[in-house]
Amino acid sequence: MVVRVRLAYNLRATPSIFRLCLWGFPMTPRQRAKFFRREIGAFIGRLNRSHAGSSKTGSFLENAAKLMQILAIVIGGAWVLNDYFEFKKVNNKLTNTQLQLATQAAAVTQTSIELNNQLSEFKLANTTMSRLEVVPDSSVVRSTKLGDGSFIYRFTFSISVKNVSDAPIVLPAMVLEFFVGSSPSKNLTPGQAFIINPPISWQSQPTPSTNPGFVTWTRRLQYANKLPDVDKALEDQIPAYDSTSPILLGEIRSGEAAGFQVNFVFRAQPKDAAGAVLTFWAGGQNERPSIFTETRTELLSEAEDARSLSMNDKQNKRIQKRLTPSAKM
């Protein structure tokens, strides 16, 4: 009974010594280590002097210490293994998330590439006209008066084309048509009006109209021309008209301009109208040419008199004035 009490006393007293060493009076690290070794030595000495300090107890303690070491190693290994599996689990989750993000990024990149390709195709299909500055113009001049009230007119049609892109543009073919139209002005009653509808080119078939508010156009002249090396698909689109000089054909370099002017002389009444339709193809060197149309119309009643006609009118008025007898008062 004494051994138990003494051992309990020693074991109960020992934690106070440890607390004194750890949380006691202020000491330097060297002093604290020395004090700790002395107290451990005293504890072991008391244990050896007690009834528990037998060889059997020492062997038991030694085996327990070895067992504790083994248990510590096993527990530490299990802890490390658990940490490894936890890390691997989190790492796999992060890897899967990274793969998903990479897949989404690749999908976004592919979508962006497809959109850029579509945008490029759209620009390629719609930039030819935006790369060309096309300025058409027309005028009509009245020159000679005939006995039936009709006149000889000169209709002038011109066009200017400038390449405002950074690459050359090729104009492989063109079609030019000239029209004379009969207006319904003589059938108009007060308050009525009519529309100056444009001429119908070779691309569309004119449809007869019973509406008196439109101009009835008649094609009088037509010309077509093309480069000698146009492909079969484009050649099939060009109507079989008489050829004329290549007035708007060939390559136009970046920043350069091309154009032409043509005059049509015809006979018509002042109530009629005149018009021209130019159809041409344009595209880059590696592009399929696109088709474009420019139309101009003029009312003959608004035509300017030619200088010769003005001089003749003045001479006729002077002659008529001389031949007309003066009224007697």
Q: What's the pLDDT tens digit per position in 104-129?
A: 888 888 888 988 887 776 665 555 45
pLDDT confidence band for 33 (50 / 70 / 90):
low
- Phi and psi at residue 314, in whole multiples of 5°? -65, -45
Mind listing the pLDDT tens digit for each residue in 49-73?
A: 665 556 666 676 667 667 777 877 8
CB count within 10 Å of CB 176 equals 24
pLDDT number for residue 273: 92
pLDDT computed for residue 179 by the predictor: 94
The CA distance from 169 to 174, in Å, is 14
- What pLDDT does residue 14 have? 46
Q: Domain ranges in the chain? A: 2-75, 132-308
What are the residues whose beta carbons fall under 8 Å from the beta carbon of 248, sequence distance 6 or more? Answer: 159, 161, 171, 174, 258, 259, 260, 278, 280
How far apart, in whole angstroms, are the C-alpha atoms of residue 221 and residue 176?
8
Instruction: Reply yes or no on whether the pLDDT at 139 is more than 90.
Output: yes
